[in-house]
């Protein structure tokens, strides 16, 4: 279903709104010269995926002639909320953000709504009953990514499997959804069991640390399911340090398909990667332009993604952009 966007308010309408005491400072209309300003509140720089995502957004804004105000929340929700409030005060035309965690956004998004500043969710969703708080959500289907990881394991596991799971940031949509999708699929195989599961916060160091603990506490691990490449790469370091061979003694499944992950897959140290596409910049700029122009945008824009085996990674690597 399409949602009608009604944010191209005239200066007169904005003045009337302020006079009515509806709160907020207005916004939504592009500057006098037509330049659109986007305030983007990024999660942080926790992974190779995130670095590629930031670059894509910055480059796409420049190419589209859109002024980008950018903030890095260092994976803290309070920093993102502060950034969004500051974009409301600065009367940007559009606020876009990738929520660190799913819950706790209603108050600040209501402030943006009252100021007539449209919000676009990118990459990660919020868990709110009030879908009028944002115009659209552009990003991956994380549950489906988890399912693809589970399907590969179910198809390739010839006997019982002890799986350890490296979860993403606690409370983040990709951590919740990738777990759900994976568990849904492996439920068909009672001999595949998740024997330990802990967050590595989507970082390489987090993945390494948690894997070291798993290797000490859990005998005979068969499979690592890491919610992103970075944690999988950290797990590889821990497995090697424990005298085992990643990809052989312990199989590794990850999500993202950033270059470092794909190189490890091509080298046989990772066994399967589910792609999560970080190149959202161009689509975000297109959506922002439409929202400012008062055009209709879809409620949900799902990113197209694939999966990679070792041979497919070898073939894709020469052209990999990130
Ligand atoms: O939200 C997307 C996820 O966040 C990516 O899979 C991960 O690498 C990043 O940190």
pLDDT digits (tens, 9 = 90+) for 93-147: 999 999 999 999 999 999 999 999 999 999 999 999 999 999 999 999 999 999 9
Q: What pLDDT score does 30 carry?
A: 74
Which H or E element spans position 86? helix 77-89
Gap from CA of 63 to ligand 1 centroid (Å): 24
Determine if residue 49 is left, alpha or beta; phi over 0 gives left, psi from -120 to 50 gives alpha, anything else beta: alpha
Do the beta carbons of residue 288 and residue 321 sit within 8 Å?
A: no
SS3 of residue 290 by DSSP: helix
Predicted local distance difference test score (pLDDT) of residue 25: 33
Q: Is the CB of 49 under 6 A from ligand 1?
A: yes
- Ligand 1 nearest-atom number relative to CA 44: 10
In this prediction, residue 2 carries a pLDDT of 44
Ligand 1 within 6 A of CB of 255: yes
Q: State the distance from the centre of ligand 1 to the C-alpha of 156, rounded, in angstroms.
A: 25
Structure tokens at 162: 């002890």
- Give Cα separations from 144 to 67, 151, 253, 281 (angstroms): 34, 10, 15, 22
Atom number, ligand 1, closest to the C-alpha of residue 202: 10
Dig out the tokens for 1 from the structure. Answer: 């279903």
Residue 18 CB burial class (10 angstroms; 0-12, 13-18, ≥19): middle
Phi, psi of 28 (to 5 degrees): 85, -35
Ligand 1 touching residue 256 (CB < 6 A):
yes
| Nearest CA among 166, 171, 186 for reference residue 127 | 171
Spans of the chain below 50 pLDDT: 1-27
pLDDT for 316 equals 98
Reduced to 3 states (helix: H, G, I; strand: E, B; else coil), residue 115 is: coil
Q: Report how far apart, in Å, the C-alpha atoms of 130 and of each of 36, 135, 292 are.
A: 26, 11, 21
User: What atom in ligand 1 is closest to the CA of residue 48?
Assistant: 8
Domains and CATH numbers, the chain: 11-140+278-305 (3.40.50.2300), 142-276 (3.40.50.2300)
């Amino acid at each position: 279903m399409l949602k009608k966007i009604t944010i191209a308010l005239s200066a007169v309408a904005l003045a009337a709104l302020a006079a009515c005491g509806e709160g907020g400072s207005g916004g939504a209309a592009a500057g006098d010269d037509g330049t659109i300003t986007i305030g983007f509140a990024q999660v942080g720089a926790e992974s190779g995926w995130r670095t590629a995502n930031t670059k894509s957004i910055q480059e796409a804004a420049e190419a589209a002639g859109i002024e980008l105000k950018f903030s890095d929340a260092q994976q803290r929700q309070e920093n993102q909320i502060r950034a969004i409030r500051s974009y409301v005060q600065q009367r940007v035309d559009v606020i876009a953000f990738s929520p660190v965690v799913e819950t706790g956004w209603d108050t600040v998004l209501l402030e943006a709504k009252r100021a007539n500043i449209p919000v676009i969710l990118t990459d990660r969703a919020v868990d709110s009953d009030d879908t009028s708080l944002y115009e659209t959500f552009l990003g991956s289907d994380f549950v489906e990514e988890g399912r693809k990881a589970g399907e590969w394991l179910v198809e390739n596991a010839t006997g019982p499997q002890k799986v350890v799971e490296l979860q993403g940031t606690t409370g983040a949509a990709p951590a919740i959804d990738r777990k759900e999708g994976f568990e849904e699929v492996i439920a068909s195989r009672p001999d595949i069991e998740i024997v330990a599961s802990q967050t590595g916060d989507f970082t390489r160091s987090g993945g390494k640390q948690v894997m070291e603990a798993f290797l000490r506490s859990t005998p005979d691990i068969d499979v690592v399911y890491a919610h992103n490449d970075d944690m999988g790469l950290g797990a590889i370091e821990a497995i090697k340090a424990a005298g085992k061979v990643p990809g052989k003694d312990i199989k590794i499944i990850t999500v993202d398909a950033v270059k470092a992950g794909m190189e490890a897959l091509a080298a046989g140290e990772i066994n399967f990667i589910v792609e999560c596409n970080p190149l959202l910049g161009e689509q975000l700029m297109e959506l922002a332009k439409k929202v400012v122009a008062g055009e209709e945008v879809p409620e949900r824009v799902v990113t197209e993604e694939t999966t990679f085996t070792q041979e497919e990674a070898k073939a894709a690597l020469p052209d990999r952009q990130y």
